[in-house]
Structure formats: structure tokens, C-alpha cells
Chains A and B, each alone.
Chain A
């Protein structure tokens, strides 16, 4: 079984619109949306939820006011500044580590489980989809990403699918690391802007750090052809294969508004053709791995 993650470093380069089109073009795949704090893939693939699981995030410290003597030891020991002067816990800052529980002389604090989101297994026209929703403002998205990926792997085994297509989140931190560990190939979607180039560099470094061979797709390549050339040269130097260039076209947004992938909405449009060519190259690179 092969796993490919679409990532970008910089946000808004077109990861999700391109991943959704790949899902339509591919056969026998499991789809995983690993952008759990702002997931968007479902708006194009319209999954029907078959199974919902609770996600238990970090626990939450709770103070029993009848026992608390306001000595302040908990506040002084908390490294996350989650306890204020009135000895109240800020649930947004509490990491659920339990240090306050240990230091409290009155045994007034306990850790309680909290549900921080949900994971879903769904049916789509294009294959089974594993996805999730972290509750707004919650932490530990990396752990939920791992849950989504484990679900996807289990389904792929059951259904005999040999490819998992993963949509990642922007950045290079915890959730992205959880989206790329153990995969075969990472496809970085970039754009020919100075910020895009800077962030591409860091995304390539991230994949190299985990010994994953990077592929690159330049979206909106025609908004700045000079920068596109720069990216191509940069990729050559860094041994990252450029597997596709996709034109800037308002049709991408029109398709999104219609709730469709661009390859279904306008199959004859140049953008759809470019995505198809890119997908073929990505597939052959994945199979080489």
C-alpha cells in the first residue's frame, strides 16, 4: 500500500482543490483529509458519514472549589499559564499535563477527559474517505491526524486499496509532521510568489528531514513566469521533481462555488487537462518509490 500526502507549507496554494480532483481521477483509493482544524475537502467530495468516533484530546484540569484553599501552588507550577490569580483554569491554555493535580496539597484538582473533536468514516462517489473535525480552538491536532490516518490504513487493508491520498494542512509543525511520517511520497503544491518560494523551501526541507522524496506542483504558474522559472531551477537543485504546472483560471473558484471538483465541472478546460497530466506523473513517481 502506498501513501501520498499533498502539502504546501504556505496556505491557500490550492492543496484541497487539487487533491479533490486527484480523488476523482484516481481508482481504488482511500481519501484522508488531514487538515483537521479547517477541513474543506468535504465541500467538494460530499461524503456521506457512515461512522463517527469521538476524539479524546488532552484532559482538562478541574478544581473542586469546596476543597481549594487558594494557596496558589498550582498557579505557580503551571508552565502553560493556564491558572489565573483567582485560581480559575483557562480551558484554552490547559494542556492537561496534571502538574497542578500533583502539587495541590488539598487534593482539590482532578483531570477530566474532554472530547476535542470527532473522526468520521464516510462514503463518497470516489472511494471511502477518512476525515475529522477538531473542535474550534482545541489542541493536539497531530493526534487527531494520526487517528484519521490509522482509520484510512485500516479501510485500505479491508477494501484492498493500494493507495491512500492524504490532504495535509498548511505549515510544517505538529499536524503536518503527523501527516507525512511514514508516507511514500509528498507532493508540495506551491505558487510562484516570493512567499510561496520561501515556504516551498521549508516544506522540501521537512520532507528531506523524514527521508521522503518530494514532488512539486506549481499552481497558478502563469501569474509570475519568472518566479516559476526560479522554482523549476530551485527544484532541480534540490532533487525535487516538478510533476506539474497548473494555470491560473477563475474556473477553479467557479467549480468550488458549484461544490464540484474542476475536473468534473469543466473537464475540457485547460486547468483540468493540466491536473490530469500532473496526476499521471505523480502516480508514476509514486509507483517508482
Chain B
């Protein structure tokens, strides 16, 4: 069973939910797909036992074979190649590694080379396996790192996937293939606005979802009306408490000091299992 956690708006408590949920159950693997700013490992302090590089392929032009016909730059939808009579200019930040330039080159002048854009780290804590990705600073493309993190999914376990904020391609890649998605939001106009966007995304993908309201008690009540209207179940509410915020600020998952929450997260998992079966 794969449960992903997303939010639209950043900072609503995705990682808090993912980590506390993972600490409440057995046989669990946690994946941090927020490869731009991974935080799960900060709360769990795993022992890292494997680090794998993540590469993307980019074209390498053999200048001797190339006759500057321009077919590659004509083909490239992303304008990553620019051919002049004297030379070929390549803009790596625009390349999506589709491999098309290599296919269309009539002189077989293009091969590919690997460029490292990040790493995938695997580790363990007392109770779980953890996998997270880290995009190198200055590299724009998070997707290949997310894909490599997801290759490590261990289907014999309950898999919890922490997603990045937003609602565009990195989020799609992270939640893709999950059996259920938990949307963590907060009862504020920003929280609601971005929740609505994520609901549209999940409806488009056909992934069943439920809502967790974090910092319940602040803001307003409109998020509750929206969930009722959309028939989106509110599976858990975490109240706004200074203690929870302080524990988070120190990097401590709150169930470690508020064990009464363990049961609530176990019930949450059972609830999700029931909903998936339906």
C-alpha cells in the first residue's frame, strides 16, 4: 500500500504528518520526494548506509562528424540546441534528456553523456527504512531524482511518500501510482485555495484522497464547507498547539513526547486501508 502526502501550499505540515504516521506503525518505509528541500531525515536522523548518484543524459556532439545540417535544433522542442555554420551551442538547463536529437541526426554525430544532478540516500532508523533524494543546488530538474527515489519502493511494506509543495510536475511524479493521497491543509484562505488546486490534480489523476486539517483552530471555517461540498473526508485534525510547534522547531516528531497521538495515527492508517478496499 502506497500513501502519498501532498498539500499545494508549503509549510502546512506534510512532513510532520508523514513522519508521525510512519513512527506509529510497523513495517513501514518512508520516501522523501521533496528533493529540492528534503526534511524527513532531519526529523528521523537515520543512519545512511547507501548513497547513489542520479544522472541525466545530455547530448554530446562529435564536431568532426557533424555537418551543421541543423536537424537536431529543428527537432528540439525546448530550444536546447542551436546550430550555426561554425558551431553547435548546447543549453543544458533547457534539455529534457528525451534523446530525440540523437535519433534525428543523419550523421550519427550525437551520443550522450551522463551528468550528475543529485543523489538518492538510503538509510534506516530503529523502526523503518528511509529513502530520500537531494537535487544538487543550481540544477533545475527535480523529476529524475524523484523517479530514482521512487524506484526504491518496497512493496512488502506500508509505503509513505512525502511530496514537495506546489501542484505541478514534481508533485504529479511524487503522487503518481499511490493508492491513496492525504492532503494536509490548514484552515486559512491560502491553505484552502491551494487545497482546491490539489483536489483538481488528484481528480485528474484518479487517485482517491482525504484531508488532514493541521493547526485546527486558527483561521476560519471555510475549509470545512469546501470538504463537505466536495465530499472529501476529513480524516484527522491536528489542533494548533504551541507545544507541537516547539517540538517541530527542535526537530522532534511530536508523537515521541505526546504518545497519545500514536493511536490516532494507527486509526488513520486503518481508516485509509478501509477506504482503499472500497
Judge whether A79 and B98 touch: CB under 8 Å. Answer: yes
Whether a CB of chain B sits under 8 angstroms from the CB of A10 is: yes
Whether a CB of chain A sits under 8 angstroms from the CB of B232 is: no
Whether a CB of chain A sits under 8 angstroms from the CB of B89 is: no
Q: Which residues of A contact B39 (CB under 8 A)?
A: 10, 195, 198-199
Interface segment, one of B21-29, B58-66, B186-194, B258-266: B186-194
Judge whether A257 and B220 touch: CB under 8 Å. Answer: yes
| Set B10, B190, B205, B219: member contacting A92, Cβ < 8 A | B205
| Set B140, B204, B205: member contacting A142, Cβ < 8 A | B140
Interface string of B97-118 (1 = CB under 8 A from A): 1111001100000000000000
| Prevailing SS type, chain A contact patch | loop
Known: A12-B10, A13-B11, A171-B37. A98 touches B142 (CB 8 A): no
The CA-CA distance from A98 to B135 in the complex, in Å, is 27
Interface segment, one of A25-33, A133-141, A239-247: A133-141
| Set B78, B190, B249: member contacting A40, Cβ < 8 A | B190
Judge whether B165 and A103 touch: CB under 8 Å. Answer: no
Judge whether A137 and B205 touch: CB under 8 Å. Answer: yes
Interface string of A149-177 (1 = CB under 8 A from B): 00000000000000000000111111111
The CA-CA distance from A205 to B135 in the complex, in Å, is 12
Judge whether B97 and A79 touch: CB under 8 Å. Answer: yes
Q: Which residues of A contact B164 (CB under 8 A)?
A: 170-171
Q: Which of A93-136 contact B (CB under 8 A)?
A: 93, 95-99, 102-103, 111, 134, 136
Q: Which residues of A contact B8 (CB under 8 A)?
A: 38
The CA-CA distance from A14 to B245 in the complex, in Å, is 15
The CA-CA distance from A80 to B205 in the complex, in Å, is 16
User: Taking the nearest CB of chain A, how far is it from the CB of B222, in angstroms?
Assistant: 9
The CA-CA distance from A107 to B218 in the complex, in Å, is 58
Q: Which residue of chain A has the shortest Cβ distance to B204 in the bound complex?
A: A137
Q: Which residues of A contact B176 (CB under 8 A)?
A: 92-93
Known: A43-B193, A137-B167, A177-B140. A99 touches B172 (CB 8 A): no
Judge whether B251 and A256 touch: CB under 8 Å. Answer: no
| Set B9, B96, B204, B251: member contacting A11, Cβ < 8 A | B9
Judge whether A170 and B37 touch: CB under 8 Å. Answer: yes
Known: A194-B249, A195-B15. A170 touches B166 (CB 8 A): yes
Q: Which residue of chain A has the shortest Cβ distance to B7 in the bound complex?
A: A11
Q: Which residue of chain A has the shortest Cβ distance to B104 in the bound complex?
A: A102
Judge whether A40 and B9 touch: CB under 8 Å. Answer: yes
Whether a CB of chain B sits under 8 angstroms from the CB of A238 is: no
Judge whether A92 and B9 touch: CB under 8 Å. Answer: no
Judge whether B188 and A257 touch: CB under 8 Å. Answer: yes
Whether a CB of chain A sits under 8 angstroms from the CB of B18 is: no
User: Taking the nearest CB of chain B, how far is it from the CB of A46, in angstroms?
Assistant: 12
Whether a CB of chain B sits under 8 angstroms from the CB of A16 is: yes
Judge whether B135 and A173 touch: CB under 8 Å. Answer: yes
Q: Which residue of chain A has the shortest Cβ distance to B36 in the bound complex?
A: A171
The count of chain B contact residues (Cβ–Cβ below 8 Å) is: 61
Q: Which residues of B contact A59 (CB under 8 A)?
A: 77
Q: Which residues of A contact B219 (CB under 8 A)?
A: 253, 256-257
Q: Which residue of chain B has the shortest Cβ distance to A195 in the bound complex?
A: B39
User: Taking the nearest CB of chain B, how far is it from the CB of A221, in angstroms?
Assistant: 11
The CA-CA distance from A89 to B141 in the complex, in Å, is 22
Q: Which residues of B contact A191 (CB under 8 A)?
A: 249
Counting chain A CB atoms within 10 Å of each CB, which of B8, B97, B167, B198 scores highest?
A: B167
Q: Which residues of A contact B103 (CB under 8 A)?
A: 77, 99, 102-103
| Set B9, B78, B100, B188: member contacting A38, Cβ < 8 A | B9
Interface string of A62-91 (1 = CB under 8 A from B): 000000000000000101100000000000
The CA-CA distance from A227 to B247 in the complex, in Å, is 12
Known: A177-B138, A224-B246. A259 touches B189 (CB 8 A): yes
The CA-CA distance from A263 to B77 in the complex, in Å, is 46
Q: Which residues of B contact A206 (CB under 8 A)?
A: 137-138
User: Taking the nearest CB of chain A, how far is it from the CB of B178, in angstroms?
Assistant: 14
User: Taking the nearest CB of chain B, how far is it from the CB of A77, in angstroms?
Assistant: 8
Whether a CB of chain A sits under 8 angstroms from the CB of B12 is: yes
Judge whether A172 and B37 touch: CB under 8 Å. Answer: yes
User: Taking the nearest CB of chain A, how far is it from the CB of B52, in angstroms?
Assistant: 19
The CA-CA distance from A202 to B220 in the complex, in Å, is 34
Q: Which residues of A contact B201 (CB under 8 A)?
A: 136-137
The CA-CA distance from A169 to B248 in the complex, in Å, is 22
The CA-CA distance from A190 to B185 in the complex, in Å, is 20
Q: Which of B137-191 contact A (CB under 8 A)?
A: 137-142, 164-172, 176, 188-190
- With A43-B189, A206-B137 given, can you name 17 additional A-B contacts, CB distance below 8 Å? A10-B11, A37-B166, A38-B165, A38-B197, A40-B193, A79-B97, A92-B176, A96-B77, A102-B104, A136-B201, A137-B172, A170-B164, A193-B250, A194-B42, A195-B37, A195-B42, A227-B250
List the 9 closest pairs (A to B, CB-CB), nearest first.
A11-B10, A12-B11, A194-B251, A97-B98, A171-B36, A139-B169, A174-B140, A224-B249, A11-B165
